Amino acid sequence: MAAVRLYGSVLVLILFDVCEEIRLEELRSILGVQPAGREPSFKHPAPEYVRFENPPVEVGVDKVRLPTGEEWDGRLRFYDYGVLSVEFKLAFEGAWEKLVALSSRYVAGLEIEREAGRLAREMSQRVAPALLKPYEHWLTEDYYIFHVQEIDGRPTAPQLLDQYGDQIAQIVRGEEAVLSEGERREILQFSMSYSPTDLVVAGWNAAFVYDTVAGAATTVQLLEYANSQLLEFRHYDEVLTRELRSVYPSLEKGTGFLARWRLARASGRLHTLLLEVTELTERADNAIKFLSDMFSARLYRMAAGKVGVPDYKNLVQQKLDIAENLYHFMVDQFHQGRAFVLELLVVIILVIELVLLFGGKG
């Protein structure tokens, strides 16, 4: 019996947090790119139900040849909240065993990540005037999407899960070895279908997508967006951690006269950071709108939950709450110190007046 053949592509997304903000209009001018319409083009016939508030700028790059000899198509996307995404795409055709082997190889490999880093650095230098407050150290996220657009026999989504669940679980986990039944069930429970002929199984660093080219484009965009959100919340978590670490020594120096005045400067920096992080997180969190497309909204929530967006978002919120409480404490300490100084000055003035009064009589 001939092996079932699959036709599709492997997509690798490598995302970099390059700066605080990317001025997309200036970027388009530098790259000579025309403004895009509302993206992405979703499954539903009314794409206005799901849209980017400020669509990312997308540019193609020359084919990328890896040391293995494979040539990948490349594409870059710039998000206004400071994320640069590098996408590599490679067509494939073969049996399930080939796709399992490709997943194991690429998920564990470093060649693609190094090439993506090189492209990102070169492009960031080219478009440097459009990058606001560029970072010296870049945080990165990678995600692998195995898109199957056609399978011999045209199985439905339930048939795929029933007959090829083991292979799909291996692909999503990037494992060549057969997984346990418990692990298989845990992976496959994070699956969704809009119709009987499409399927998405999302994992923490890879996904299996069975859909048309147009349908898969929607899923790829949502998976990329979820990873860009994760990258941003990781950045804010690091920023808040560093700032809180710098504030604690000021609190430990006591509540003396000079210490309280130093707290005023520290509280000012902390309050500025609070406002900046709150504004940036809201902008990143609201970059895409789900107005009536419930399937896309549920798909995004599933993908975001698997890659860890809610966890990091909660961490950032907890640290924002701590920072706000510290800010109010530091302000209270400063006001107490200022009140003490004012009271002391009043006493000194009274003493001087009394001395002058009685000294003059003498």
pLDDT tens, position by position, 25-47? 999 999 988 765 545 444 544 34
Residue 70 has pLDDT above 60, yes or no: yes
Q: How far apart are CA 148 and CA 155, in angstroms?
A: 12
Mean per-residue pLDDT over the chain, rounded: 82
DSSP for 44-94? SS-GGGEEESSPPEEEEEEEEE-TTS-EEEEEEEEETTTEEEEEEEEEEEE
Sheet bearing 191-192, strands edge to edge = 57-65, 71-79, 83-94, 6-22, 131-151, 206-210, 199-202, 191-192
Token pair, residue 325, equals 């409480």
Q: What is the pLDDT of residue 149?
A: 94
DSSP for 274-310? HHHHHHHHHHHHTSEEESS-HHHHHHHHHHHHHHTHH
Q: How confident is the model over 74-85, as a mean pLDDT?
A: 94
Q: How confident is the model over 46-57, as a mean pLDDT?
A: 66
- The more confidently predicted of residues 93 and 49 is 93
Q: What is the pLDDT of residue 245?
A: 77
Q: Which residues is 91 bridged to in the sheet?
A: 9
Q: What is the pLDDT of residue 45?
A: 43
Model confidence band, residue 117 (pLDDT cutoffs 50, 70, 90): very high
Q: Where are the beta strands (DSSP E) in the chain?
A: 6-22, 50-52, 57-65, 71-79, 83-94, 131-151, 191-192, 199-202, 206-210, 288-290
Residue 238 has pLDDT above 70, yes or no: yes
Q: What is the pLDDT of residue 262?
A: 55
Q: What is the pLDDT of residue 156?
A: 93
Model confidence band, residue 165 (pLDDT cutoffs 50, 70, 90): very high
Q: What is the pLDDT of residue 134?
A: 95
Q: How far apart are CA 54 and CA 310, in angstroms?
A: 23
Q: What is the pLDDT of residue 47?
A: 42
- The more confidently predicted of residues 259 and 190 is 190
Model confidence band, residue 270 (pLDDT cutoffs 50, 70, 90): low
Using a pLDDT cut of 70, give the percent of the chain over it: 76
